[in-house]
Structure 1
C-alpha cells in the first residue's frame, strides 16, 4: 500500500522560501505558493544567487539580469511580490558560517512562521540524479539558520532582532516527503510561473517551452495524487519545531 501524505499545516500566515537559484521554486513548489497566496498568506522569496552560470549560451554578465527578471516575473504569477537576491556566485556556493549568517539574517528580516527550502540531500529523482553543490549547501544552511535566527548570541552583529518564531521547515523536491498541498486551484499558475523562465528553458531543451513546462509541472503533481486522495499535489518533507 502506498503511504499517504498528510496535509500541510495551515496555522501560519507568513512564509519565507530560501533557495539557491532562479527557477528552483518554479520547478519545486510554485503551484503550492500560488494556492497559499490566493488564500491571503504572505510568501517572500530569497535567492542566494542570480543564476548567472545557468545558461550555457549566455555570458554570466548577461544571464544574471535576465534570470533575475524571469524570477521576479515567475514569482509575480504565483502571487509573490517580495524577491531578494543575496549575490552569492552561482555554482560555487560553500556551506559554512558565512552562508548560515546570510540565511539567519534573511529569516530575522522576514520573520516567517514557515520556512521553505529545496532538497539538500545528495540525490534526487529516486536517487538516480546527483544533486548540485549549491542546492546541498543552501538547503543545509537554511536548516541550520532557523535555529541560528532565534539565538541572539549567534551572529549578534545582524541588525534585525532575533526571530524564534519559525514553527515549520518544509523541504520541497525531496524523495522522502511527509506532507502535501492540494494544488488543484494553483496548478495553472504553477505552469505559467515556470514558463516565465523562458530564456533558461529555451537554452535547456529543444522542446516547445509550454509543452515542456506543462508536462513537467502537471506530471509531477499528478504523480503524487495517489498518495493524496487522488488530488494533484506538491509535496514536502516537513520538520516541526
Structure 2
C-alpha cells in the first residue's frame, strides 16, 4: 500500500515563505497559501531576487521591475499582502552567511511559526536538475531558522532591534520528492491558476502554448500526481520537519 501523506499542521497563525525568484511559489504551493489565508492565517513572501535574469529577451534593468509587479499581483490573488525582496543577484545567488543573515532577520521580524521554502536538493524527483539559486536559497532558509533563534549568531541583528525568535515549529519544503504532508488542492485551485497567470511576461517568454492552458495543465498535473497518496484528492505536497 502506498504510504499516505499527512494533512499539514493547522495550529499556527503566521508563515514566512522564502524562495529565490518571482513565480517560484506559484509553481505549486499558491493553492495551499490561498486556503491558509482564507482561514485567517498570515503568510508573508520573501524573495531573494527580483528575477531579473529570468527572461532572455529582456534586459535585467527592465525585467526586474516587471517581474516585481507580477509577483505583487500574483501574491494578492491568494491573499498575501506583504512581499519583500532581498536583492541578491538572480542566477548567481550564493549560499553563505550573508544570505542566512538576511533570511534570519526576516524570520525575527515576522515571527513565523511555519517557514516554507522550495526544494534545496540537486533535482526534482531525480528527473530534472534543480537550479543553483533554488538550492542556495532553500538550504539557507533551513539554516536561517536556527540562526534566527540564537542571539550569538548575527549578534548585530539584536542591536538592530531584532530579538531572537525561537517560535518556528515547522519547516515545509515544496517540490520535494520526499513529501510527507499535503494540503487539499481543490479549494484554492482556481486562484492558484490566476496567481501563476499573473506572471504572464515570464510565461509568454517560456512557452508558445496559450498561457492559461499551460498554467492549468501544469498545476493540474502536479496536484494530481499527489492524489494517490492523499485519499484520491489532488494535493499540494510538502516535506515537513517538526522542530
How far did 1:223 drift? 1.7
Quote the residue 1:81 is aligned against. Answer: 81
Runs of 4 or more above 2 Å deviation:
none
* CA displacement, residues 2-44 of structure 1 (integer Å, 9 cap, x when unaligned): 2110000111000000000000000030000001001111000
Quote the residue 1:225 is aligned against. Answer: 227
Q: Which runs of 5+ in 1 are unaligned?
A: none
Quote the residue 2:18 is aligned against. Answer: 18
Which of 167, 174, 177 does residue 175 from structure 1 map onto?
A: 177
Count the aligned residue pairs. Answer: 240
Aligned CA-pair RMSD: 0.7
- The answer to whether residue 42 in structure 2 is matched with residue 42 in structure 1 is yes
Task: Indicate conservation of the 8 Å contact 1:75/1:193, yes or no.
Answer: yes
Partner Cα separation in structure 2 for residue 65 and residue 98 of structure 1 = 23
- The answer to whether residue 215 in structure 2 is matched with residue 213 in structure 1 is yes
TM-score, normalising length: structure 2: 0.98
Task: Indicate conservation of the 8 Å contact 1:17/1:116, yes or no.
Answer: yes
SS at structure 1 position matched to 2:46: strand
Quote the residue 1:136 is aligned against. Answer: 135
Partner Cα separation in structure 2 for residue 225 and residue 130 of structure 1 = 24
Partner Cα separation in structure 2 for residue 43 and residue 209 of structure 1 = 26
Quote the residue 1:52 is aligned against. Answer: 52
Task: Indicate conservation of the 8 Å contact 2:28/2:222, yes or no.
Answer: no
How far did 1:156 drift? 0.9
- The answer to whether residue 188 in structure 2 is matched with residue 186 in structure 1 is yes
Quote the residue 1:150 is aligned against. Answer: 149
Partner Cα separation in structure 2 for residue 33 and residue 121 of structure 1 = 23
SS at structure 1 position matched to 2:156: coil
Q: Which runs of 5+ in 2 are unaligned?
A: none
